[in-house]
A and B are shown apart, each in its own frame.
Chain A
Amino acid sequence: MTNIVLLNNQAHRDLKVQPGAAARYGDNQRFVAVVAGEFPFLATHYPILLTKDANTGAFLVGAMLGIDEGENLFLTDRGMDSYRPLNLQRGPFFTSGGDVAIDLDSPRIDAAGQPLFTDAGEPSVYLQSILALFRDLRPGLDITKAFVDTLVKLRLVEPIDISVAFDDGTSRQLEDLYTVNQDALRALPDAQVLDLFRSGYLQLIYLMIASLKQVPVLARMKNNRLLAGTDGLLGT
């Protein structure tokens, strides 16, 4: 359940929040929506792919963190070592217009966590970092939507079939994922390419293409995990 309310330095004066990454806090996500500004940080760790919102059919862009549902292969006991996408960093916080809201039912709300306000009622260092994060995330959503809409409009999106066979004999077929159609990209008229370059979209496109190299890396991580699991079973 969620119970989202506007954040208020009186009512939430004593509220504390666990900022770290852990499965029990909801960081165990296979696919996390991201914004364009994150692409350079993401591309060296995760495949940046498109998928469709199951409710609206609209394309959204995200980072693939795992192979199976509810799996973040980058999550360890110590949290996430590599870049943590803003949508995970924001924890229980949301924006509502220009305001910040919080989900009071989030498992991150915990007396052992970080305070949100100082004794004087000012935002704590942690809350300031969240406010800064939203300054990136909020306009980033519009910028990213415009980018994705352009990809679709120029027919630069194509489905990608990712099927992986693992050493434990199982295999996975990942569906509903899309990437940049490189043939269509090469076929664009010069004027359109120039537009993409000037708008900064071309760089985003190449980051998405480069990030595909992370798919086999993820598959290897998953394979190691599966084999470790098997060994564990054999050992008992």
Chain B
Amino acid sequence: MHPVHNIVIVGGGTAGWLTAGVIAARHQGRIKAGTFSVTLVESPNVPIIGVGEGTWPTLRTTLEKMGVSETDLFRECDAAFKQGAKFAKWTTGAADDAYYHPLMLPQGFTQVNLAPHWLEKGAGQTFCDAVTPQGVLCDDGLAPKTITTPEYQAVANYAYHLDAGKFAPFLQKHCTAKLGVRHVLADVKTINQDQKGDITSLTTEQAGEIAGDLFVDCTGFRSLLLGQTLGVAFKDCTDVLFCDTAMALQVPYDSENAPIPSQTISTGQSAGWTWDIGLPHRRGTGYVYSSRHISDEQAAEELLAYAGPMAKGLTPRKIPIRAGYREVFWKKNVVAVGLAAGFLEPLESSAIVLIELSAKLIAEQMPANREVMDIIAARFNDVNHYRWGRIIDFLKLHYVLTKRPEKFWQDNLDPATVPDRLQNLLKLWKYQPPWFFDEFDRIEEVFPAASYQYVLYGMGFRTEVAAADNDGTRSMAVNYLHEAVNLTRKLRAQLPRNRDLLQKIYDYGLQPI
């Protein structure tokens, strides 16, 4: 038997440090007893890409389990609240074309499907406003909690917008000081394998040889261990998701007290979409586009026009991207997490949540020895293929209901570019709204049926419903729809402005209880 005691993570970006933290927190007992180790090897010379500034509510649980203080996160990573995404100009491109994908589930979501009841009522409120207060809270610029709400607890469900450049060093400090993660600054020179192909150790320039039982590849797009060393191919998905270039631009606010939106604002442009993320001291904006449909110069112009007067004279930074993922994620004793595993456009902030889910699965299912590792690897690959597939479906969903005339948008409607599962679901959803039966049954499902409802009905899709079919659940649905109205009124009166709460967190901190 070859026991798994020493975990070596290669790469010190968000993926590397989050994975190190999650594994080390889960195995703290063994680390303290000296029978288990987590080592992170990071080149002193490779810059961090810093994927995405948007996260999911799962990050709250992940950080809390790692023992991170949420107050510190706000103070040190320029974090702000995120309550969802607002999609503007995705359907018609008109000035008033917008809908929300909030982080709160519809009221009573586990009890009753409100979608058919909302559909039955016909015109009136948007689906989002009918079933949850969160769209209104975003419009009002309100925070999702108050200064008396304990750390990580929510009044309205939330995630974070944060400065990815500060997040990785912040995690590093916590992992090394509190969780006993060994940090080695060294360049990997050679990767040593045994006859079966397992990686046995890394020979480094500055720190000699580093041996390990399980290696986690967090080397970013390079995929040094899984891709380059073990030869696992990259599965390209640009036939479904066309965007292959990003252009990023950091824009200052026009005043110190400018409101901070707590929603990511994704706006459809001529050949892709722009993101707009409000941090306390600046906006992070960018344009994700298809280079087949627009030139870099035109894209830069469009981005600058979107970003407004404060962006005048600034130059966007171009980042090539490629939608797709590794054919397997865990091979032999190497598992890839983060960009080394794959990349998808940040439309639904899926990058960091995929890191969290992968790290959690590795930590929870940590194989006891090499002999059982392949069983866990097969499981890990199965779950991750499912997740990546579902995220790709969900991202594509945002494109397939458009009425925009530009070639980029029209090309997205070509059925040859739409995955079969999504095509089938769209057929089905003409007659029944998304619900738990649509395979949304994994323990850790990436997007619940609610997310599909918000996007479908936000973009004007309509499911045929018969009033008689709603009879059985009508009284329950009426109650929950009322509850949404009452909760909206209550929260609007109770919650502070987003920037005001952030200021209070800087001044006083949040209580842990």
Contacts and interface: CB of A to CB of B under 8 A. Distances in A.
A19 B258 CA distance: 48
Interface residues of B, number: 12
Interface stretch (A27-35, A56-64, A93-101, A213-221): A56-64
Contacts of B513: 152, 155, 157-159, 178
A58 B512 contact: no
B148 A152 contact: no
Nearest to B507: A56
Contacts, number: 33
Nearest to A54: B148
Nearest to B509: A57
A13 B148 CA distance: 43
Contacts of B510: 57
Contacts of B504: 55-57
Nearest to A56: B508
A52 B512 contact: no
A158 B513 CA distance: 7
Interface string A131-174: 00000000000000000000010010111000000000000000
B295 interface: no
Interface string B248-288: 00000000000000000000000000000000000000000
Contacts of A57: 146-149, 504, 508-511
Contact of A152 (B146, B507, B508, B512): B512
A195 interface: no
Interface in A68-126: none
Nearest to B513: A157
A176 B148 contact: yes
A38 B4 CA distance: 57
A54 B510 CA distance: 12
B511 A152 contact: yes
A155 B507 CA distance: 22
B289 to A, nearest CB: 43
Contacts of B511: 52, 57-59, 152
B497 to A, nearest CB: 14
Contacts of A56: 147, 504, 507-508
Contacts of B512: 152, 155
Nearest to B147: A57
A188 to B, nearest CB: 16
Interface string A163-196: 0000000000000101000000000000000000
A58 B510 CA distance: 8
Nearest to B148: A52
Contacts of B146: 57
A232 B512 CA distance: 47
A158 B149 CA distance: 13
Interface string B144-162: 0011110000000000000
A53 B148 CA distance: 7
Contacts of A52: 148, 511
Interface of A: 52-59, 152, 155, 157-159, 176, 178
30 contacts: A52-B148, A52-B511, A54-B147, A54-B148, A55-B147, A55-B504, A56-B147, A56-B504, A56-B507, A56-B508, A57-B146, A57-B147, A57-B148, A57-B504, A57-B508, A57-B509, A57-B510, A57-B511, A58-B508, A58-B511, A59-B511, A152-B511, A152-B512, A152-B513, A155-B512, A155-B513, A157-B513, A158-B513, A159-B513, A178-B513
Given A56-B508, A158-B513, A176-B148, 6 more contacts: A54-B148, A55-B504, A56-B504, A56-B507, A57-B511, A178-B513
- The 6 A-B pairs at the shortest CB distance, nearest first, are namely A57-B147, A56-B508, A52-B148, A57-B148, A157-B513, A57-B511
